[in-house]
Structure formats: structure tokens, C-alpha cells
Amino acid sequence: MLEDLTPAADQAQTCKAVQRVREHPDTTERDVELIVEYMNNPAWGHYQLSYALRKKGIDVHKDSIIRHRQGRCPC
């Protein structure tokens, strides 16, 4: 049953948070720069940032922000 399992290829060159911001139709390059700044700013809590982005129509889970902050994303 499990003979055909293979590891996932390195699919993403950016973290999910940045990818979600880029996917939004109104995103500019400045927005991409800003999301990285916000994620690197400890004043933004991960819940707070996730909620603020959701209000703008960008669904970024708090875990994606946490992974970025812990250096566990491709950034």
C-alpha cells in the first residue's frame, strides 16, 4: 500500500505568508516588502498579524508567521 510514497519536492521558494500576500490581486512589491518587515518585527504578535492580514483579504495562518520567525521557512 505504501510503496509509491515519495517525499515532497522543495515546492516553495518563499514562505507561505509571503506567497499568500503575492497571490492577492491588489498586491504590490511594497506589500511584499512590508509583510517581511512585519513578520520580522516582534511588536506584531503572530495572532495579531494574521488577523490584520485576514481583514485585508489575505489568509495567512499564524503558524506560517511562527515558522518564518523561527527560521523554518524557505526565506
On whether residue 8 sits in a domain, the answer given is no
Displacement of CA 59 from its chain's centroid (Å): 9
pLDDT at 69: 94
34 contacts: CB under 8 Å, gap ≥ 6: none
pLDDT at 7: 74
Cα–Cα distances in angstroms (integers) from residue 74 to residues 40, 48, 57, in the given order: 14, 23, 24
Kindly tell me if the per-residue pLDDT of 74 is higher than 60.
yes
On whether residue 7 sits in a domain, the answer given is no
In the chain, the number of structural domains is 1
On whether residue 34 sits in a domain, the answer given is yes
pLDDT at 10: 56
On whether residue 41 sits in a domain, the answer given is yes
pLDDT at 6: 79
CA dihedral 39, 14, 62, 34 (to 10 degrees): 30
Which range marks the domain in which residue 60 is found? Answer: 16-69
The Cα 1–Cα 61 span in angstroms is: 33
On whether residue 5 sits in a domain, the answer given is no
6-55 residue pLDDT tens: 776 655 567 899 999 999 999 999 999 999 999 999 999 999 999 999 99
On whether residue 10 sits in a domain, the answer given is no
pLDDT at 3: 86
On whether residue 49 sits in a domain, the answer given is yes
